[in-house]
Homo-oligomer: A and B are copies of this chain.
């Protein structure tokens, strides 16, 4: 990329440099949900159309975008900007645990949905924060584990199939 910009697209290089500097200057964290935005509060948090009784906890701004693209959620968010990882020195303070607990308990939240990844760190994060929130009387849920949409038994790993059997649900 560097060679291309210097050899063939010097105007592009200048544009990119200016945009990067502007982004560094303007982009900050939303005061409510912690995601990247250019205002005090992001567009989702500022919207009157969102359900303030639902709070979805995700690891990163990219995960927030994925949730929005799934068109399945109309509540608000809290972005951890990371996940618990003691081996890398990432503790509760680094994922803003205190701020999340304050946000979830102060403002009439009815349900907190843990939407961290199903990796080891993501699961540990969901467990740690879930316990902390439940001990304060909040209803905490976790997004479902199982077969993907369109998935066939023959093509999923044994661990996922086992989870799908364990977490089977009643047909209504």
Copies assembled: 2
What sequence of 0s and 1s flags, for each residue 124-155 of chain A, a beta carbon within 8 Å of any chain B beta carbon? 00100010001000011111111111111110
Let me know if B142 and A144 touch, CB within 8 A: no
* Chain B neighbourhood of A142, CB < 8 A: 168-169, 171
* Chain B neighbourhood of A170, CB < 8 A: 139-141
A119 to B66: give the CA distance in the assembly, Å.
23
* Chain B neighbourhood of A69, CB < 8 A: 158
Query: What interface size band does chain A fall in?
Result: 35 or more
Let me know if B70 and A161 touch, CB within 8 A: yes
In-complex Cβ contact of A171 among B122, B130, B148 (8 A): B130
Of the 9-residue stretches A26-34, A36-44, A110-118, which lies at the interface with chain B?
A110-118
A146 to B161: give the CA distance in the assembly, Å.
11
A151 to B122: give the CA distance in the assembly, Å.
10
Let me know if A149 and B153 touch, CB within 8 A: no
A117-B151, A118-B150, A150-B118 known; A165+B130 contact, CB < 8 A: no
* Chain B neighbourhood of A163, CB < 8 A: 72, 144, 149
Assess whether A5 is interfacial by the CB under 8 Å rule: no
* CB interface residues, A 80-120, toward B, < 8 Å: 113-115, 117-119
| 16 residue pairs A–B, Cβ–Cβ below 8 Å | A59-B153, A69-B158, A70-B158, A70-B162, A72-B163, A117-B152, A118-B150, A126-B171, A141-B171, A142-B171, A143-B147, A144-B146, A146-B146, A146-B148, A147-B148, A148-B160
